[in-house]
Structure 1
Amino acid sequence: MKRTLTAIAAAAAICGGTAVAQDSETLEINLSGEVESNCELIPEGSASYDVDMLDTGNQGFLAIAYSCNSPYTVSLQSQNGGMEHQESGGLVNIDYDVETQFFIFPTGTWNSAADLSGAGTVIVTDNDWANILVNGGTRSGNLDLSFDSLAEYAVAGTYSDLLTVTLAANY
């Protein structure tokens, strides 16, 4: 045992007092992962609501909750740009207003059905990653539908429109 210790001490003295490692290897491990974007809209699917075409007041509201774990946009689109008269083949189209209030922005905005036709309109955009992380991407809002005074001149018949609320990830 004494001889082995003397050999190590001699090797250390030759290298300036420090023992040198004879062999060294390293392993670098690159880690990666992925989380898919997940957006949920409640309610989702389809729903039907009867509106009073002659009531110029608020027709009530639809409460919406949604969450998205990435930046997102909420948009609203009208298929007909108003309540389309079915018997006239769309020659009569009664405009209405939709007040949208989503609580990422505490103030509501008014959009007419005509503005919502075609590509529709974006009503909420959130690109703030820190806000999405802190709040889990969860928000809520509501849609209020109302007719202006011109609705009193609506002709008799059946009217319809299809409003589409879309929650889409911007990721």
Structure 2
Amino acid sequence: MNIILKAASAAIAIMGVSGTAMADKTAQTTYSNGLPTNVLGFNVAAFGFEALDLGSRYRQSSSTTANTETASTTVANSFTLTGVVTKDCSFYGGGQTGHTINLGVIGVRTGNNDNVSIAFNQRDAVTANVNSATAGCNTDNIVTIAKANGSDGLKNFTPGSYDSNQFTDRIPYAVNASWTGVAAGSTAAGTTQNLAVAFNQGTNALTGGAWRSAFNMDVNAPSQSKGLVAGTYSDTITVTLAVI
């Protein structure tokens, strides 16, 4: 008689558990005789069935160490970027900050047929213009225009002697400047800003927000009611853009 032995295959699954859950660690020994490990308080297993040569034996064991800390399913980090833009004002003046505008000969009535009441009077208004294509400040600022001679305007510093009822040694003038900007405290679209220094003023200023545009300045010195004493007439206009 033939005896056929069939051996059943055993599938062993090894599983690891992530996260906060922990699987039981394996520590198992099984003997084929099925004897208990403890009989009447006597630890039979302590003597070992293998030493008693009783049946077969199967053992399994495992060892693992838990996470160092509680696992997280989501982690987020934030990154703040920071930098500084320096305050600045610019005014293109052709590569220089000092300029001389030569008015040439300020014409007076020199005709011998003019009435005595207008002889030597200034013939026409004196005008000048300054225009910079690039000017402005990148923060709140104040634009100031100042005449060095104040309300005297163009002045003759060596007039000599003259009849003050008939002649003068100064030519008052007005300044009108304009650019595109905004009023202080505004974040609206830029509009035309105007700054004027009147004939009787020496200086004036305007505060506003950040702006960049062309800057235009007109100077107007109308004809005087008195004759002009001969000599050189001059004044200095200073335009200052300053951050606040």
Confirm or deny a common fold (TM above 0.5).
yes
* Structure 1 residue ranges without an equivalent (≥5): 12-20
Supply the AA of the counterpart residue of 2:240.
Answer: T
Partner of 1:45: 97
Supply the AA of the counterpart residue of 1:161.
Answer: D
CA apart distance, 1:126: 2.2
Out of 119, 122, 140, the position equivalent to 1:71 is: 140
Structure 1 residue runs of 4 or more that deviate by more than 6 Å after TM superposition? 23-28
- Aligned to 2:201, the other structure's residue is in SS state helix
Residues 63 and 143, structure 1, Cα contact 8 Å, conserved in 2: yes
Partner of 1:59: 127
Deviations 1:70-119 (A, max 9, x none): 12222100111211212049x93321122222233537564235412xxx
Partner of 2:14: 2
Q: Give me the whole-angstrom Cα distance separating, in 2, the residues matched to 1:92 and 1:110.
A: 24
Change (3 A) 1:151 1:103: farther
TM-score under structure 1 length normalisation = 0.67
Give 1 or 2: higher helix fraction: 1
- Aligned to 2:224, the other structure's residue is in SS state helix
Matches within 5 A, 1:1-171: 2=14, 4-5=16-17, 9-10=21-22, 22=70, 31-43=81-93, 44-51=96-103, 53=106, 54=122, 56-57=124-125, 59-64=127-132, 65-81=134-150, 82-88=153-159, 92-104=169-181, 105-106=191-192, 108=194, 110-116=196-202, 120-122=203-205, 124-127=206-209, 132=210, 137-150=211-224, 153-170=227-244
- Aligned to 2:155, the other structure's residue is in SS state strand
* Structure 2 residue ranges without an equivalent (≥5): 1-12, 24-68, 107-121, 161-167, 182-190
Deviations 1:31-89 (A, max 9, x none): 43211112110115111012254354352311023032112222100111211212049
Residues 72 and 169, structure 1, Cα contact 8 Å, conserved in 2: yes
Q: Tell which has more relative contact order, 1 or 2 (C-alpha 8 A, sep 6+).
A: 1
- Aligned to 1:115, the other structure's residue is in SS state coil
* Bigger radius of gyration among the two: 2
